[in-house]
Amino acid sequence: MPKVLVMHGPNLNLLGTREPEIYGHTTMQDINEMLQKRGREAGITVDCYQSNHEGDLVDRLQAANHQYDYIIFNAGAYTHYSIAIRDAIAAIEVPVIEVHISNIHQREEFRHTSVLAPVALGQICGLGIESYLAALEAVIYKLGLHK
């Protein structure tokens, strides 16, 4: 059975209460359950992981190599400056899809640049929590499991 790792970066554990006008009222747990349900329907195991710590995210990316078919990753603020996470993505063979709930290109200037995008398979942003679902649907399609 194919395996997908969903990774959430800093402050995403606060979804549902943090800046709901930007991120909505859906919690990280709600997102995880939604993705796991869709994964089961498609015959995919979906594991979820969250950390507020850059080194932990790097360690998890490295550990995921050869263990997962795809990674869906919302790196939060690390998207804009973490060369360590960028290098970890570049170092592994698992394709990574970068996701964001908000449209990072419509926000503050410092959020417009992603240091991860050049090493990611793709980037989906601005669709709300559906950004995660769109990424999972892309994985389902790439694995040939769409119906």
pTM greater than 0.85 (yes/no): yes
Q: Which of 23, 49, 70, 132 is catalytic?
A: 23
68 as an active site residue: the answer is no
Order of all β-strands in the sheet with 70-74: 45-50, 3-8, 70-74, 96-100, 122-125
What was the pLDDT predicted at 21? 73
Closest CA relative to residue 48, chosen from 123, 136, 143, 147: 136
* pLDDT tens-digit series, residues 76-130: 999 999 999 999 999 999 999 999 998 877 776 766 689 999 999 999 999 999 9
23 as an active site residue: the answer is yes
- Helix, strand, coil shares of the chain, percent, nearest 5, are 45, 20, 35
Rounded Cα distance between 105 and 110, Å, is 9
Rounded Cα distance between 36 and 87, Å, is 28
Q: Which of 8, 68, 78, 100 is catalytic?
A: 100
Rounded Cα distance between 76 and 50, Å, is 11
* pLDDT tens-digit series, residues 9-18: 999 999 888 7
Rounded Cα distance between 130 and 48, Å, is 16
Sketch out the chain's domains with CATH numbers.
Answer: 3-142 (3.40.50.9100)
What was the pLDDT predicted at 110? 63
